[in-house]
Amino acid sequence: MIVRSLVVLAAGVGSGALSAILGVGGAVVSTPAIRALGASPELALGSTVPAIIPSAIVGTIRYHRLGLVDWKVGLWCGGAGAISAAGGVWTSTVVDAHWLMVATAALMLYSAFSVLRSARTGVAPLVALVDTAAPIERRAQIGWLVAIGLGAGFTAGLLGVGGGLIMVPAFTLVLRMQVKEIIASSLVAVAMMSVTSLIGHLIAGHIDWTYALPLAVGVIPGARLGSRFTAGASDRTMKLVCGALLVVFGIYYLTTELQGAL
């Protein structure tokens, strides 16, 4: 039991660091980690959520001090996502949780492809399909923020992730923000929508606190380490690190969960 708690604590540190580096809430580390330790798919969905909130808050505070947070982006997306996260949690109670794990892995690999391609070309994938020279009007931008937030929040509630897997590529494509600003602003939204997700998974009985508490303790120092790395790294380095980490975790996650689902 002690050894398991220490392993979960270490996963929490890695989760917090990845949250700050990727802006994704860190569940891409903690979910496969606690699955490997024996947690059921249902408990893996919910037990990572309590750790997402302190991780996102710590990262947001540090990025705010560095002037990297766009509060309009974070609050509009987070407000919309906090609403749709409830629908995602409800859906997770009626869908086979093994396939939700597979969906998480597939989403991770898609995000990895997007980030790595943008590091190679200097622009986000599919960005050539939109007029990047035309400014986005304020009203239209808010509409995009709400739409992105709704999709990210639903995904956060459904898969027990922070929602950054949707927001980071979407912000890159639609808003054409710098990588560090994308990560910083997405953490604001991650914190907001994860509160709704936490309440929903508590009600659904998807949280095992023997996993959740060590994760929540570990993410705080992990988030501080990750945000320090992010603040000093170049945009291209950030993209390469983000993409490589997502590829590794995505392949491992997809392979193991497909074995359980089939």
6, two tokens = 């220490």
Q: Over its length of 262 residues, how does the chain's per-residue pLDDT go in tens digits?
A: 787 888 888 888 877 777 666 655 567 677 777 887 888 888 988 998 888 888 788 878 888 998 989 999 999 999 999 999 999 999 999 988 888 888 877 877 876 777 677 666 654 433 333 344 344 444 448 888 999 999 999 998 998 877 777 887 788 777 777 777 888 888 899 999 999 999 999 999 999 999 999 988 888 888 777 777 766 666 677 767 777 877 887 787 788 778 766 6
Residue type, 50: P
Contacts of 208 (CB under 8 A, 6+ apart): 39, 43, 46, 47
Give the pLDDT of residue 122: 55
d(CA 217, CA 247): 26
Q: Could you give the C-alpha distances from 199 to 48, 160, 177, 206, 207, in angstroms and in order? A: 13, 12, 31, 10, 10
Tally of CB atoms within 10 A around 38? 10
Give yes or no for a contact between 184 and 71, defined as CB atoms under 8 angstroms apart.
no
Give the pLDDT of residue 261: 62
Q: Could you tell me where the DSSP H helices lie in the chain? A: 2-22, 27-36, 41-47, 49-65, 71-92, 97-121, 138-159, 164-170, 179-204, 209-232, 235-261
Tally of CB atoms within 10 A around 109? 17
